[in-house]
């Protein structure tokens, strides 16, 4: 490809160096069907995924100086399906925690859900209506550690109760971080989640809000998951549900957090779309 202009979401050399060995190793065992190593540099493929996540554009609106949508789609779906995206996430998460002086895996997580409107074209079979929040679309469940780093993510129809999402999150947490022995949740989660956690050896603490407080009041420790939800909103593709499959929605979350963690590790930042 010829020299192109840069975008604020582009990887710096330092950020690319963090994930390049894993991407290169993946490519070495996944050559194209014709046997060659591919026409487009892997760094540009990742730049395209990050550009789309930050800008929120549809596939067909990717700029012409980036690899074509078909090529970017191929890698996005391949890495989503074989776990590469989550493997990159785990690599970066462990580095961020170690740099903060913590063990690779946490002992405490915070769970929360967020309901999002679904865009036109999202299959109705994967959406529903959150009766409490009156939001038609999907619901995103997050489990984060004390640093606000994502440990697990679940995306469902918005009509799914927080209990079901909470139990699914705890199952995923147990798989990715078996060291967790305590979870904090809000009052939207009920005794079902507490009982499920107890059976797994995880103490689930329902943090009740002070009835004398009005409006949004951050709760000790639990505010970390609210902060992470706010950070995700800086990635425009996550402001609304655009993905046809919930697996793609979850993958978008991992790519957004991968971007955040790589920037933390290299001390770089990018302008937020809200300030544009």
Which candidate, 181, 223, 225, 183, places its Cα nearest to that of 204? 183
pLDDT per position as a tens digit, 149-189:
999 999 999 999 999 999 999 999 999 899 999 999 988 88
Neighbouring CB atoms inside 10 A of 117's CB total 14
Q: Where in the chain are the domains?
A: 104-243
Mean pLDDT estimate for the chain: 91
Question: In order along the chain (276 residues), what is the average pLDDT of each group of 10 residues?
Answer: 79 96 94 67 96 96 95 97 97 97 96 95 95 93 97 97 96 94 91 95 86 63 91 95 97 97 89 57
Q: Could you tell me what percent of the chain has a pLDDT over 90?
A: 79
pTM of the model: 0.91
Task: Determine the Cα–Cα distance for residues 161 and 197; give it in Å rounded to an integer.
Answer: 17
pLDDT tens per residue across span 202-230: 999 988 776 666 666 666 688 899 999 99
The fold adopted by the segment(s) 104-243 is Nucleotidyltransferase; domain 5 (3.30.420)
């Amino acid at each position: 490809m010829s020299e192109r202009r840069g975008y604020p979401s582009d990887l710096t050399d330092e950020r690319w160096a963090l994930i390049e060995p894993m991407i290169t190793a993946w490519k070495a065992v996944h050559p194209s069907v014709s046997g060659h190593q591919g026409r487009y540099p892997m760094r540009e493929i990742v730049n395209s995924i990050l550009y789309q996540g930050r800008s929120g554009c549809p596939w067909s609106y990717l700029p012409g100086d980036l690899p074509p949508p078909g090529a970017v789609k191929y890698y996005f779906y391949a890495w989503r399906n074989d776990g590469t995206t989550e493997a990159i996430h785990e690599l970066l998460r462990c580095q961020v925690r170690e740099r903060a002086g913590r063990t690779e895996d946490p002992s405490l997580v915070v769970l929360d859900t967020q309901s999002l409107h679904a865009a036109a074209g999202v299959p109705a079979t994967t959406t529903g209506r959150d009766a409490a929040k009156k939001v038609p679309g999907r619901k995103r469940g997050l489990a984060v550690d004390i640093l606000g780093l994502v440990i697990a993510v679940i995306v469902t129809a918005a009509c799914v109760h927080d209990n079901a999402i909470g139990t699914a999150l705890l199952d995923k947490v147990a798989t990715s971080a078996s060291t967790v022995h305590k979870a904090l949740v809000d009052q939207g989660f009920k005794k079902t989640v507490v009982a499920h956690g107890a059976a797994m050896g995880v103490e689930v603490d329902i943090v009740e809000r002070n009835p004398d407080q009005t409006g949004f009041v951050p709760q000790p420790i639990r505010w970390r998951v609210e902060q992470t939800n706010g950070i995700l909103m800086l990635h425009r593709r996550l402001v609304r549900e655009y993905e046809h499959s919930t697996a793609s929605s979850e993958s978008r979350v991992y790519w957004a957090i991968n971007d955040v963690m790589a920037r933390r590790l290299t001390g770089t930042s990018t302008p937020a779309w809200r300030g544009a």
